[in-house]
Amino acid sequence: MGDATKLGLHARYGGYALVTGAARGIGRAFAKYLAADGFDLLLVDREAAETRALAEELHAKHGIDARPIICDLTDPDLATKAQDWAESYEVGLLVNNAGIGQLDPFFDIPLDAHVATLDLNCRATLILTHVVGKAMASRGRGGIIIVSSASGLSGSPYFCHYAATKGYGLNLAVGLWSELRESGVDALALCPGMTDTKPVQDQGLGENLPFFIGLTGPEPVALGALRALGKQPVLVPTLADRMSSGFLSKLLPRGWTLSLMKQSIEKMRR
């Protein structure tokens, strides 16, 4: 975390950083880097004990105001809650990190699980980006990071709906990057590949990976995004991810790419 103090993002955007899915994985890494950079934090997650413990840890270590907000972002009343957060706190940086996905054949996943994925990965991202981002635009400064996925660049068998929802976040972020240029509000789509987080561990996805897919820790993913914000519209954060996404999306026809991905995922699922 030694390089975090050199980011200068709090000096650029000010206020609080709102991080969703903050208790674990990439969201937790974002929270730690942002606390070290001087941000006060709004830590949004449904995991109450872990979120509160993280808030206490970051307050004790950095002396910042770290507020745990225990919330299920699929709540139908999310827009009202988001408006309250935007009015109660000056949010200078928004990290839309929370997301869910399931590795299974499309029709084996219940429809209500697909709808929950849509609600969290797309609806919640839309609401928070619109409500919090609008307040940033009115002040003339702010930063928005939307955590997409390398699968959102190409689509993926057995991750069909997850990849589709991540494509939504990708396209929302890059459109905003262009639309908001010169406004003082920066936007970035972050597209990590396979990252060593609890959902990946729980589903055993880090095992038997093909040669072109590397398993990355959450820290370089978060730090890479914070360094890239304001400089480019999309970040594929690590060399392994860039090699993998380039190999699959640029060197091979789409049909070959999907066939190769299907074979690889089937081996992972055995």
16, 89 Cβ separation under 8 angstroms:
yes
Dihedrals phi, psi of 35, to nearest 5 degrees: -65, -40
**Amino acid identity at 32:** K
Supply the Cα-derived Rg of the chain in whole angstroms: 18
Q: Say which DSSP state 119 is in.
A: I
DSSP notation for 34-49: HHHTT-EEEEEES-HH
What are 130's two structure tokens? 């619109």
Alpha-helical runs (H) found in 66-119: 78-88, 111-118
166 is known as an active-site residue: yes
Which of 16, 33, 162, 168 is flagged as catalytic? Answer: 162
Which of 166, 168, 231, 267 is flagged as catalytic? Answer: 166
Dihedrals phi, psi of 186, to nearest 5 degrees: -100, 150
* Cα 175 from Cα 38, distance rounded (Å): 29
231 is known as an active-site residue: no
DSSP notation for 156-202: -TT-HHHHHHHHHHHHHHHHHHHHTTTTTEEEEEE---SB--HHHHH
> What are the C-alpha distances in Å from 21 to residues 30, 60, 138, 219, 241?
10, 21, 26, 15, 22
| Active-site residue list | 162, 166
